[in-house]
Amino acid sequence: MSQIAEMQKTVAAGTLNQLEQLRRYTKVVADTGDYATLKEFSPEDATTNPSLILKAAEKPAYKALVEKAIMDNRSSGPAGPALLTRIVDELLVLFGVEILKIVPGRVSTETDADLSFDTEALISKAHRFITLYKDRGIGRERVLIKIASTWEGICAAEALQKEGINCNMTLLFSLPQALACAQVKAKLISPFVGRILDWHKAKTGKDFAPAEDPGVLSVKEIYNYYKKFGHETEVMGASFRNKGEILELAGCDALTISPQLLGELKSNAEHLERKLSPATARQSNIERLEIDEKKFRWLFNENAMATEKLAEGIRIFNADAVKLKQYLAAMH
Q: Report the alpha-carbon angle 38-39-42, nearest 5.
A: 75
Neighbouring C-alpha atoms within 13 Å toward the C-beta of 42: 4
Q: Is residue 146 among the annotated active site residues?
A: yes
End-to-end CA distance of the chain: 63
> Which residues lie below 8 Å from residue 22, measured CB to CB, with a gap of 6+?
28, 246, 250, 255, 265, 272
Question: What Å distances lie between residue 86 and 128, 238, 319, 328, 329, CA to CA?
Answer: 10, 28, 18, 11, 12
Catalytic-role residue among 125, 146, 243, 275: 146
Cα gap 298→329, rounded to integer Å: 41
Active site residues: 146
